[in-house]
Every structure is written in C-alpha cells, then in structure tokens.
Amino acid sequence: MTAEQVRITVFDTTLRDGEQSPGCSMNHQEKLRLAHQLDRLGADVIEAGFPIASDGDFEAVKAIAGVIRRPVIAGLARACRPDIERAWEALKDAARPRIHVFLATSDIHLQYKLRITRDQCLAQARDAVRFAKSLCDDVEFSPEDATRTDCDFLCKVLEAVVEAGATTLNIPDTVGFTIPSEFGELISTIRRRVKGIENVTISAHCHNDLGMAVANTMAAIAAGARQVECTINGIGERAGNAALEEIVMAMRVRRDRYPYETGIVGEQLFCASQMLSEITGVPVQPNKAVTGRNAFAHEAGIHQDGVLKNPLTYEIMTPQSVGVPDSKLVLGKHSGRHALNIRCEQLGYQFDRRALDDIYRRFVRLADKIKHVEDHHLLELIRETHKPAASATPLFESMPTAVAAAASVSAQESQRFPLVPQPNAFGLPLPVPTDQHHDQEDYLWGV
Ligand SMILES: [Zn+2]
C-alpha cells in the first residue's frame, strides 16, 4: 500500500465524550438528529453513548443502532460484566456493533480511584475484553490515562487485551497532558513492542487541556495510528477533545505532509458544526478553526483586496470546501422555496413542508423590506419561527464568507440586526454534577 492510499478511520465521539461536557447534554431526538448528520458527514464509527450510564443513554444507543446502518456504532463500557452486557443489549441490533471497553492503567488511577494493583488491573482488562469478544467481534480497548501510565505496564496490558481479542487499541490522553513529540514516540513504542499489534488498529484519543489535542492526534497518525477519536467543534470533557473538522482539513490542506485519506465529506462539516451548536445552545467560538464565523472573514483592507483579486492570497482552503454557504447566491424576493430550502439546509436546518411554508411567507415579507436576505437575517427569522424545544438560547450568528465580508456587510449590518448576547465559550459555568449520568459511581466517566 502506498502512502497515498492510507485510510484513517474517523471515530466520532460527539454523542459520548462530547455529550459529557458541561452544557452539552442532548435529548433522545437531538441525538438521533445529530447521528443522522454524522452519517451524512461520513464518520466511520459513531460512539453513540455509554449505555449503563442512564436509561436515556441506553435508549439513545439502541435507537441509533437501529436506524443508522452504514457506520460502526460503538457503545462504551467499563471493564466489568454488567457494563459490557448493557452495552451489548443496546448494540446488538446494529448492522456493525462495537463494544468499547476501558480501564484505567496509570498508577495514580489504580491507587486512588480504582484501588487495585497492577496485577488486578491486567487480569480485569483481559477478562473484560474476553467477555466482550464472546458477545461481539468488534472490540475496542482503551487504557484510560495511557499517557501517564508506566510504559512497560501499558505494553503488557495492551498485549494481554490483543491476545484476548481486542481489534482496536485506543490510546487516550485522558487528561490532555502529552505533547506531540512524546505522543508520537509512545505510539511508535507500542507498535514496536506489543506482540500482535500488526493485526489490530491503533487509535488516538486526545484531550485539549494544553491546546494540543489536534497536534497530538496528527503526531499519532504520523507514528502509525490509523484511527482518530474526535468530536464536532472539539466539544468534550473540560477543554474538549480533538476537533474532527480540524484533523480532517489538516490532512486535506497539508496532504504533502499528511498523505492520508478519510471518508469525511468536507462539505458537510459546517452543517454538522452549526447543528451541534443549535442543539446544545453552545455557540462556536468566532475564531474557531475551520467552522468559526470568522474563519473565512477578512477584515483588513489589504486582505480584502487580495481575496477579491484571488482568494488564494489569504485563504488556504475555500469556504465551500467545508460547506460554508456561498453567499454570492444572494437570497431576495425572487428566490423560490427551493433556494430557501437549500440555504436552510446549508445552515443546519431541515424543515418539513409546513414549516418551510411558514418560513417562506416570512422570508418574502422580509425580502420586500430589505433587498438582500443575508444568512444572519435568515437565522433570525428561523429562530423566531422555529424555536427548538430544548434550547431557548440563541443559537448561532451569521458567518460571512470572504466575499460577503469583503463586500462590506458585516460591521454595519450586524449593528442594524444586533445579535442577542450569547454565553461566551470561556464564560461557561464550572462542571457541576447535575445531569443524569451522575447517579453512578464517580469514576464512571471514561476515557
Ligand atoms: Zn475522552
């Protein structure tokens, strides 16, 4: 196989790790809606939840497994029988089920959290994987807190679970502690030392506590990892997970250095990002790479001039390649329902006929008053017409593309249509154990 053909499996954990982050819990219908979008996006694996954590999680995993048939559907389980049985119960009707078993391996977790010895940990990991394998062919194992685990012991555990039937070994940087050179070395060491490693897929799962989740993930791929675990908008525990859209676009834009393929449909990235933001009510930070509303906005005159002459002067990727609506197609009073529908879809909304009719009527009235209906007008209108049940929070702001911004809309326009104040991404409340998961032991949380 040449470097050109190396295929990276994209494992999306927005519905599991992402959903665990403060303010990001989703109800059943919202999870299903997002799962459909992840399917359209081309994710290879969707981690749909943690079935033993709550009845709601169980039902969501089961429902997703029942209707989303192309990707692998994974469910998380601690390394014990009841968790694994519950996960399997939720997953067994999936077209392609995967049980994801995890157990902490670092001394600090063994001593203070689990209160077991290394030998007990090794035996528990092996037994759990063996049991999972008796139910499901596709078993992933994660040694939680791998990056702070003694390397010899880590390799020993990995070897034991490979022997017990694990097909994917996920290496989590659970606490966001590692740095790219170190994480790359760890993956290389595992590849060199673990017997049977050539028959399994190595995966990376990075957290962003030091802002290096994506960089660490890329280092892992360069060192031989072939699965990446990531989330839309990088949501996840504490500072979040590696952002799916950033990993994918790094590979596309820098193919010279990262000659790898994924199955991700780039044009669906923006829609996925907006949909998640809408569902959770957590806005995307404006300067967020790839999907933030400023990611393709050019403010400085010299930049605007350059972009108008040739976008390549300041753009390393086009807005269209990540699905940012082409605002050159201006919506006005002569636009039909079809154009309106397409634009709504690009912004992350799908409406049935009746809802669309309603929005269309309002749209025509607005278009009569103002000449051009920009995305942010449309979003205001959608918000007024169609208030999502679970979220009273304003959802997202318009995203001017290079041309729209260069054509001068943003500053004046956004004053005429002031945006409702939104909770800043950095002003979120501290994690409070309030949601349904927390009736379990305090070490439920996963990798
Ligand atoms: Zn995680």
Q: Separation of 203 CA from ligand 1 center, angstroms?
A: 12
Could you tell me which residues come within 8 angstroms of residue 404 by beta carbon, excluding any fewer than 6 positions away? Answer: 327, 374, 410
pLDDT at position 62, please? 98
- On whether the CB atoms of residues 71 and 44 are closer than 8 A, the answer is yes
Enumerate long-range contacts of 359-366, CB under 8 Å, 24 or more apart.
359/385, 359/386, 363/331, 363/335, 364/333
> What is the token pair recorded at 284?
């995307």
Q: Separation of 235 CA from ligand 1 center, angstroms?
A: 10
> What is the token pair recorded at 261?
């393929």
The secondary structure of residue 146, as a DSSP letter, is G
Q: Separation of 36 CA from ligand 1 center, angstroms?
A: 22
pLDDT at position 392, please? 33
Residues with CB under 5 A from ligand 1 (ion): 17, 447
Residue type, 32: L
Nearest residue to 315 (alpha-carbon basis) of 297, 288, 299, 330: 297
Cross-strand partners of 47: 74
Q: Separation of 444 CA from ligand 1 center, angstroms?
A: 12
pLDDT at position 445, please? 66
CA distance 290 to 18: 18
Nearest residue to 154 (alpha-carbon basis) of 181, 133, 180, 174: 174
Q: Separation of 17 CA from ligand 1 center, angstroms?
A: 5
Q: Quick check: helix, strand or coil at residue 10? A: strand
Q: Separation of 147 CA from ligand 1 center, angstroms?
A: 13
Q: Separation of 263 CA from ligand 1 center, angstroms?
A: 22
Q: Separation of 22 CA from ligand 1 center, angstroms?
A: 14
**Of 3.90.45.10, 3.30.43.10, 3.20.20.70, 1.20.120.1750, which CATH number belongs to 3-264?**
3.20.20.70
The rounded Cα 297 to chain-centroid distance in angstroms is 23
Q: Tokens 């997703």, residue? A: 64
Q: Separation of 428 CA from ligand 1 center, angstroms?
A: 19
Cross-strand partners of 15: none
For the chain (447 residues), the mean pLDDT of every run of 10, in chain order, is: 77 96 93 97 98 97 98 98 98 98 98 97 98 98 98 98 98 98 98 98 98 98 98 97 98 97 97 94 94 81 73 86 73 81 81 90 88 80 68 36 36 32 33 37 61
Cross-strand partners of 76: 100
- For residue range 103-132, list pLDDT tens digits in order: 999 999 999 999 999 999 999 999 999 999
Q: Separation of 223 CA from ligand 1 center, angstroms?
A: 20
CA distance 162 to 87: 20
> What is the token pair recorded at 171?
């290496």
Angle (nearest 5°) at CA 228 between 244 and 110: 115
Q: Identify the helix (H) or strand (E) that includes residue 296.
A: none
CA distance 272 to 385: 21
CA distance 362 to 179: 51
Q: Separation of 284 CA from ligand 1 center, angstroms?
A: 20
CA distance 26 to 276: 10
Q: Separation of 361 CA from ligand 1 center, angstroms?
A: 45
Q: Separation of 324 CA from ligand 1 center, angstroms?
A: 28
Q: Separation of 35 CA from ligand 1 center, angstroms?
A: 19
What are φ and ψ of residue 142, in 5° steps? -125, 120
* DSSP structure string for 12-60: E-IIIIITTSTT----HHHHHHHHHHHHHHT-SEEEEE-GGG-HHHHHH
The rounded Cα 280 to chain-centroid distance in angstroms is 13
Q: Separation of 206 CA from ligand 1 center, angstroms?
A: 7
Crossing angle, helix 269-280 and helix 28-41, to 10 degrees? 170
Could you tell me which residues come within 8 angstroms of residue 154 by beta carbon, excluding any fewer than 6 positions away? Answer: 105, 143, 146, 190
Q: Separation of 339 CA from ligand 1 center, angstroms?
A: 40
Give the domain ranges of the chain. Answer: 3-264, 301-422
Q: Identify the helix (H) or strand (E) that includes residue 112.
A: none
Q: Separation of 29 CA from ligand 1 center, angstroms?
A: 23
Q: Quick check: helix, strand or coil at residue 356? A: helix
Q: Separation of 174 CA from ligand 1 center, angstroms?
A: 6
Q: Quick check: helix, strand or coil at residue 133? A: helix
Q: Quick check: helix, strand or coil at residue 265? A: coil
Q: Separation of 19 CA from ligand 1 center, angstroms?
A: 11
pLDDT at position 388, please? 53
Q: Separation of 201 CA from ligand 1 center, angstroms?
A: 18
